[in-house]
Structure 1
Amino acid sequence: MQNKLTIAVSALCFGFSSSSIAASPSEKQVIAHYADLAHAVYQDARITAQALQTEIKTFIDQPSKNGLDKVKQAWLQARVPYQQSEVFRFGNAIVDDWEGQLNAWPLDEGLIDYVETDYQYELGNEGAKANIIANPSLQLGAETLDLSTITPEVIASLNEVGGSEANVASGYHAIEFLLWGQDLNGTNSGAGERAYTDYLNGDQCTNGNCDRRGAYLEAAAQLLVDDLKWMEQQWASDVQNNYRQTLLDESAQQGLRKMLFGMGSLSLGELAGERMKVALEANSTEDEHDCFSDNTHNSHYYNEQGIVNVYTGRYLRQDGSTLSGPSLHDLVADKNTSAAAKIEQQFEQTRQQVNQLVVSAESKGQYFDQLIAVGNKQGHALVNKTILSLVNQTAAIEQAANIIGITSLNPDTADHEF
């Protein structure tokens, strides 16, 4: 099954036209619209996660190859809004503290299910081969954990069990692994190839424990939906005493700083650094973001789109409508139109450059894990060019910050040098 999304990348290419309000927006209006964007993105993430949950239930009730393909497609669709939400993570502690349960990676998948005997995992991780699905109890040191019934609460409790960050039991990537299985192709073509028969009960079950595997998949989907519902409410305008209210009660300078810091940190330390530079320098498919499904190119693209969304104040929703309003771009253009035009150009150049990873995968058959392979000079050049464009974009974000009076932004580099 190819990783094709029903929302084409080109559909997300919209311009930097000023918002439709008559006068230049106030800083407080821009921050309020930022909260509106966050709410819409998390709402779409919740809606698509519920669609994924529905497909999972249908599949578990009657497993088939076609059913598994539908679940995979639903997972891919669910990634589209969620990846655009990560720009809200940096600068907003409530998001950063929460997101690990939904999007932590890389993970030692042997914690969850069967793996090849020679699979790579974090040295010293006691849980790296625990295989929760095969074992109704887990012995870690002197402690015995009861796993006889797999529930969302049990799965949540197993994150970072034994003190290892590689023990990721929940979230998009745990579900991804349960759908695709390990990608055993290394830097060669191909994603994971888990058979639908891993979910058949009785004599037709492959690799054992099909009932527990199905229970785990359903519980992980429920936990994902519950977590997204909670975050959606944190940004809702009709909920009292939530994070949105806290943000709007802060000074305009603090709100703008959070917006710009989030954009710069995702652009530089996270996307250019953790998600591209680390994998490229180590030639490591284990450090590929959506490593089981080979969806990493889309993951990177929608991270970048999320950055653009916040700057432009525009977001293309899952229903095809566009949310738009007062933006950082409006504030910059009001202060310096020529600088705003150059900053706009850099954002568009970077968006187009990250899109080249999508073109490489979907049109040329060269996925991110192949681009980072040892000896792939053209692939390395493409990834390096993308990293450089993200670095240049971060400089443009800092310039925009200075123009509207936010100095010493210092986006997070995640300890990478660029």
Structure 2
Amino acid sequence: MKKLGWMVLVAGTLVSAGCATDPLEESRARPVVERYAALVNENYTDVVTKAKELQTAVNVFVADPTEAKLAAARNAWLAARPAYGQSEAFRFYGGPIDDEDTGPEGLINAWPLDEAYIDSVRGAPEAGIINATLEFPTLTEELLTSLNERDGETNIATGYHAIEFLLWGQDESKTGPGNRPASDFETAPNADRRRQYLKLATELLVKDLESVQAQWAPGADNYGKKFGAEEPKEAVLRILTGLGSLSGAELSGERMTVAYDNRDQEDEHSCFSDNTKGDLYANALGIQNVYLGRYGNQDGKGLDELVAAVDPKLDEEMKKRLQASLDAIQAIPGPFDQAIDTAEGRVKVKAAIDALEAQTETLVDVATALGITLNLE
């Protein structure tokens, strides 16, 4: 994933008209910060569970590569994406997922991906790591990790999208996703290495996700414990930085506007499986989750309670913006690669981009109401 620049500044505490106390007063803000840490753990726990289910399906498939088992592995990949998509609301502030030195995000969800870096593609039957038997005679997790983004940001060797490409193959269909045959893993040249690569990439994905989840697990001396005890203004600053960066430059920008402007399938997030619309929706849902303090059936104190105490009208506007973005993404006719190239689809995509941009502006207003100046690039 391209690294996006952002800068945040903490201003002096602002007090709203009609509010005689600090909007991030300890007794009100601490439960929200603690709930955020718990919510992150709930989400990442779900992410790991779904990734392990994907790993099980992949192992069953590579042990006996049939079309039915390939379909099951694809379904497990699709089922794993919503939880991870929601968790991207926890990025962009140097937390465990994307710490500059130790964060594994680039190994987990990097894109766009040059297919020929991994495997054979149309017109290049001997391309990729899988077919480079002399250069890479033994495939290992360590090798795949070292090759990820080596010599270029599209040289993706690991993560969800490497697995996606292996399961679906190139998307050459005008109406649906890629359709790699199971025989690629059984009788095609280097089928054994293709099976091994898929198995290793999935094992590595689970391990990387577990490493992130462990940093938020309750009862441990980890990042989550430190976050929950952090000074409220600093913690809320991080939370809003994550939401604003995902909503603006990343989601409405990199993930939608680039593909919209270029009309290029290669610029969409999950281009092999045609799951891009689902990814976008999950990202927007993750932002809403954090604002409301909820994940799935779990609910607690969110940013909305802090904002409502300062400016009830702004809180209602923020909630409307969040739902409007979800509705606008849902209204995009799928698959996304077709929507960016048809008149009706482009209108819907642009409407979703506009909704996300408006949502981002309102998030900045929310920060201001809470005494924080949020400058997002």
* Aligned position for 2:351: 385
Matches within 5 A, 1:345-360: 345-357=320-332, 360=333
- 2:304 is the alignment partner of 1:310: no
SS of residue in 1 equivalent to 2:298: strand
* Aligned position for 1:232: 213
**Aligned match for 2:157, one of 159, 165, 169:** 169
**Aligned match for 2:36, one of 34, 37, 47:** 34
SS of residue in 2 equivalent to 1:167: coil
Residues in 1 aligned to 2:251 and 2:316: alpha-carbon distance in whole angstroms: 24
Could you say what the CA RMSD is over the residues aligned between the two structures, in angstroms? 1.6
* Aligned position for 1:134: 131
**Aligned amino acid, residue 104 of structure 1:** A
- 2:106 is the alignment partner of 1:100: yes
Residues in 1 aligned to 2:263 and 2:172: alpha-carbon distance in whole angstroms: 15
Matches within 5 A, 1:55-94: 55-94=57-96
**Aligned match for 1:394, one of 337, 340, 360:** 360
**Aligned amino acid, residue 303 of structure 2:** L
- 2:139 is the alignment partner of 1:191: no
* Aligned position for 1:9: none
* Aligned position for 2:312: 337
Would the alpha carbon gap of residues 221 and 213 (structure 1) be closer, same or farther in structure 2, given more than 3 Å must change?
A: same
SS of residue in 2 equivalent to 1:132: coil
**Aligned amino acid, residue 193 of structure 1:** N
* Aligned position for 1:13: none
* Aligned position for 1:411: 376
* Aligned position for 2:261: 281
- Residue deviations 1:92-142, cap 9 Å, x none? 3432232110000001111111101279xxxxxxxxx8511112233xxxx
**Aligned amino acid, residue 228 of structure 2:** L
Residues in 2 aligned to 1:350 and 1:251: alpha-carbon distance in whole angstroms: 31
Residues in 2 aligned to 1:209 and 1:137: alpha-carbon distance in whole angstroms: 12
SS of residue in 1 equivalent to 2:170: coil
**Aligned amino acid, residue 371 of structure 1:** A
What displacement does 1:250 show? 2.9
Residues in 2 aligned to 1:63 and 1:81: alpha-carbon distance in whole angstroms: 27
Residues in 2 aligned to 1:29 and 1:137: alpha-carbon distance in whole angstroms: 57
Would the alpha carbon gap of residues 31 and 92 (structure 1) be closer, same or farther in structure 2, given more than 3 Å must change?
A: farther
* Aligned position for 1:6: none
* Aligned position for 1:112: 118
SS of residue in 1 equivalent to 2:295: strand
Residues in 1 aligned to 2:104 and 2:249: alpha-carbon distance in whole angstroms: 19
* Aligned position for 1:259: 239
* Counterpart contact for 1:25–1:330, Cα < 8 Å: no
SS of residue in 2 equivalent to 1:174: helix
* Counterpart contact for 2:121–2:127, Cα < 8 Å: no
Residues in 1 aligned to 2:27 and 2:124: alpha-carbon distance in whole angstroms: 58
- 2:153 is the alignment partner of 1:156: no
Residues in 1 aligned to 2:124 and 2:351: alpha-carbon distance in whole angstroms: 34
Would the alpha carbon gap of residues 332 and 159 (structure 1) be closer, same or farther in structure 2, given more than 3 Å must change?
A: same
* Counterpart contact for 1:25–1:326, Cα < 8 Å: no
* Aligned position for 2:4: none
- Residue deviations 1:30-65, cap 9 Å, x none? 111111111111111111110000011111111111
* Aligned position for 1:328: 303
* Counterpart contact for 1:300–1:354, Cα < 8 Å: yes
Residues in 2 aligned to 1:90 and 1:160: alpha-carbon distance in whole angstroms: 19
- Residue deviations 1:306-356, cap 9 Å, x none? 00000000111xxxxx11111100111111222212221121111211121
Stretches of structure 1 that go unaligned for 5 or more consecutive residues are: 1-23, 120-128, 139-146, 317-321, 362-366, 413-418
* Counterpart contact for 1:160–1:166, Cα < 8 Å: yes
* Aligned position for 1:212: 193
* Aligned position for 2:3: none
**Aligned match for 1:371, one of 320, 328, 339:** 339
Stretches of structure 2 that go unaligned for 5 or more consecutive residues are: 1-25
Residues in 1 aligned to 2:134 and 2:127: alpha-carbon distance in whole angstroms: 9
**Aligned amino acid, residue 205 of structure 2:** L
